[in-house]
Amino acid sequence: MLCVALMMSCLWVVHGTKTTLHVAEESDINTLIGHTGSEILPTLSKAVRSDLVYSMIGTGEHASLVKLNKQNGNLYTAELIDRESACGNSETCSIHLRVALYSAKASYFEIVDVEILIDDINDHAPTFANDRISINVPESTPVGTVLTTVTAIDRDSTEKHRNITYEAQLTEVFGLQVVHNKDGLRVASVILLQPLDRETTDSYRENIRASDGDQQVSESSSINIDITVTDVNDNYPQFEQSSYNITVNENTTIGTIVLTVMASDDDIRDN
Q: Which residues of the chain have pLDDT under 50?
A: 1-14
pTM of the model: 0.66
Q: Where are the beta strands (DSSP E) in the chain?
A: 2-6, 9-24, 32-35, 53-59, 66-68, 74-77, 94-103, 108-119, 127-128, 132-138, 146-153, 165-169, 174-180, 186-192, 203-211, 220-230, 238-239, 263-264
Distance between CA 151 and CA 170 in Å, rounded?
17
**Among candidate residues 109, 138, 130, the one with its CA nearest the CA of residue 37:** 109
Tell me what pLDDT residue 11 has: 45
Q: Which amino acid is at 207?
A: N
Tell me what pLDDT residue 69 has: 95
Q: Which amino acid is at 151?
A: T
User: Per residue in 114-150, pLDDT tens?
Assistant: 999 999 888 888 999 999 999 999 999 999 999 999 9
